[in-house]
Amino acid sequence: MAFTKSSVGNYTIFEEAGLVLADNEGGNACTVANSSVLSTEELGAWEGKKIPVTLTVTTAAGGAGILDCDLMVSGGSATTGDTVGNGSVSPLWATGAAGDLGSGAAANATASYSGVIDASSLYAPYVKFAITTTAVDLSNANGRVTIKIAIPGGEGTNSVDQSVGGVGADPS
């Protein structure tokens, strides 16, 4: 998988579809999906900004866990050792900024949820987004989400999609 890139007005839009929500095996709060990795070169001027983010549940998961989205940062693009679901870890990554999609971002309903990630004090060469859930059992790995982020100060015109990113393990 990889992000597609487009621009709308003064924003550069990055979107990645089909992220699988892993089973959190009995209701553990954990990371249930990771986006592809994006470099600062690909993202443009994301550092030091507040980033609007939208998660769209395109296929409902098997449980009513509440979703959120964290911005992860790293000095390198490797995703070695990353796991999702119960016991999730990303040993080469740090949580740079926690998202806040609100308490209604349910994994078991096909809907969109938006929030802002405050990256105003973050600087790193690589980023990815971790989709997290509360301690409610998702009960299967049927859920799918699309993540869309908007980087302020984009190209200033509308443009067609182009593929970017994609560093990382294949989640299938």
- Residue 68, in any domain of the structure: yes
Domain that holds residue 39: 3-155
Q: What is the pLDDT of residues 96-139, one digit of tens each?
A: 999 888 888 999 999 999 999 999 999 999 999 999 988 888 88
- Nearest residue to 117 via CA among 94, 136, 99, 92: 99
Q: What percent of the chain has pLDDT over 70?
A: 88
- Residue 119, in any domain of the structure: yes
Number of structural domains found in the chain: 1
Average pLDDT over residues 131-154: 88
Query: What is d(CA 25, CA 105) in angstroms, rounded to the nearest whole number?
Result: 20
- Residue 29, in any domain of the structure: yes
CATH number at residue 56: 2.60.120
Q: Distance between terminal CA atoms of the chain? A: 10
- Output the pLDDT for position 62: 85
Lowest mean pLDDT among 34-38, 61-65, 128-132, 167-171: 167-171
What is the model's pTM? 0.87
- DSSP readout, 59-118? E--SS-PBEEEEEEEESS---TT-B-STT-B-TT-EEEE-----TT-BTTS--EEEEEEE
- Residue 160, in any domain of the structure: no
- Residue 162, in any domain of the structure: no
Q: How confident is the model at residue 65 (pLDDT cuts 50, 70, 90)?
A: confident
- Residue 171, in any domain of the structure: no
